[in-house]
Chains A and B, each alone.
Chain A
């Protein structure tokens, strides 16, 4: 099922079995997990909204309408206001 969905199971035993017959593509990703290089994406408050805001400023930097520093400073300010709402 996980393969059909193009995804990995989170269980150690599943990952071990998947690694036994992994092709080069899967092995490269599995190595990230099993080597410990992969780190957890944080569970951030209002993550969807945070990401939407950040994407908007990334687009402005890519388009050259804002410098990278200004874009990230503005994004940080708006995101901080959201993070401050959490309990």
Chain B
């Protein structure tokens, strides 16, 4: 079995749990909304067809929305009563969606399945204030990614374990042209919000300090560890080891020595490096200066989740929706 198929089946099984709930609650057409492109969603569509084959009379529809528009679409569709039965949402949106009463908590059977079959950290990524929201799907794990060939050219085959080592290696890798611009950066950061924030969070975890208090009501950004980490990052810019002109996007062209990145970048790097991928791209725990006990990565999780909203569409009983509106009972994607 290929891993592609395995992954699809894994996602199918989790999605099937939610779909079964929707079917049990009278829907014959199950609408599933994701931000995946058609190409990305192709294996998922195979899951839908397989589910339909196993459940005659049930149709599963895929609603694709661009990532940048997805959160607004969720909120708008709820107001308009056109919400789908199941969303695949980014975890960071869930606190607001849950607080707004937009989401339906999973039934006990599903909650039991998740707690029994997912690691505590994964379950934690889908939990807010002790309440589980949805089925975890994707994991994003952060680690140090390095260009093996550039490290070897700098005289080392071992990735750095501390920030001091990282800085020393990065300095050896960095090459500047006659105009003073960096052609090859020893280290790089990205231009997006996440590409600046997630490495800082990851380094804080590695240093043994969570970015936020456990109750989510305060930060640890002014901790000595966080200040040192950001100061060390800034020093890479001040000392010409990195710049805004050499970014994580340049890793694929072999112009970056090291960066903190998530696992989901693999596909692009495989395309870029081809049969040299394994000989070029290395992964190591995030360097830190807090001894061997430091935690070394963070992760977030997407999840399948059901909206709590009445809706009316072909195949749905208008009378049922009206009854729900009158009684105030939770809508069940009917």
Question: Which A residues form the contact surface with B (CB < 8 A)?
Answer: 1-14, 17-18, 21, 23-26, 28-29, 32-33, 36-48, 51-52, 54-55, 58-59, 61-64, 67-69, 71-73, 75-76, 79-80, 83-84, 86-87
Are A32 and B216 in contact, with the CB atoms below 8 A? no
Query: Which residues of chain B from 15 to 66 have any CB-CB distance to chain A below 8 Å in the complex?
Result: 36, 40, 42-44, 47
Q: How far is the CB of A20 from chain B (nearest CB, A)?
A: 9
- Bound CA–CA A69/B232 (angstroms): 12
**CA of A67 to CA of B284, assembled, Å:** 29
Given contacts A3-B7, A76-B222, A10 and B118 within 8 Å (CB-CB): yes
Interface check B309, CB cutoff 8 A: no
Main secondary structure of the interface of B (DSSP, over half): helix
Say how far B184's CB is from chain A's closest CB, in angstroms: 19
A14, A67, A75 — which one has the most chain B CB atoms within 10 A of its CB? A14
Count of chain B residues with a beta carbon within 8 Å of a chain A beta carbon? 87
Q: How far is the CB of A4 from chain B (nearest CB, A)?
A: 6
Structural contact, A42 and B263, CB atoms closer than 8 A: no
A62 touches B143 (CB 8 A): no
Cβ contact within 8 Å between B219 and A3: no
What 0/1 pattern do residues 187 to 204 of B give for CB contact below 8 A with A?
001000110110011000
Q: Is residue B282 within 8 Å, beta carbon to beta carbon, of the partner chain?
A: yes
Asked if B122 is at the interface (CB within 8 A of a chain A CB), the reply is yes
Q: CB-CB < 8 A to A28: which residues of B?
A: 143, 282-284
> How far is it, in angstroms, between the C-alpha of A41 and the C-alpha of B233 when the chains are bound?
21
CB-based contact B10/A6 at 8 Å: no
Q: Knowing A58-B200, A76-B222, A86-B99, say if A10 contacts B92 (CB, 8 Å).
A: no
A51 CB to nearest B CB, Å: 5
| A-contact bits for B206-223, CB 8 A (1 contact / 0 none) | 000011101011110110
Residues of A within 8 A of B278 (CB): 23-25
Which chain A residues border B124 with CB–CB below 8 Å?
40
Q: Is B297 an interface residue (CB 8 A)?
A: yes
Q: What residue in chain A is nearest B4 (Cβ atoms)?
A: A3
Contact A25 B125 (CB under 8 A): no
Closest to A87 in B: B99
Knowing A33-B141, A55-B193, A64-B237, say if A1 contacts B221 (CB, 8 Å).
no
Q: Is the CB–CB distance between B212 and A44 below 8 Å?
A: yes
A residues less than 8 Å from B44 (CB atoms): 1
- Say whether A8 contacts B3, CB under 8 Å: no
- Whether A44 pairs with B139 at a CB distance below 8 angstroms is no
**A residues near B282, Cβ cutoff 8 Å:** 24, 28
B residues in contact with A17, CB < 8 Å: 3, 6
Contacts of A52 in B (CB 8 A): 193
B216 touches A76 (CB 8 A): no
A79 partner, pick from B193, B219, B230, beta carbons under 8 A: B219
- B196 touching A58 by the CB < 8 A rule? yes
Given A3-B267, A58-B200, 13 additional A-B pairs, CB 8 A:
A1-B43, A1-B47, A25-B281, A29-B143, A33-B139, A37-B296, A41-B125, A42-B211, A43-B216, A48-B93, A62-B234, A62-B244, A76-B219
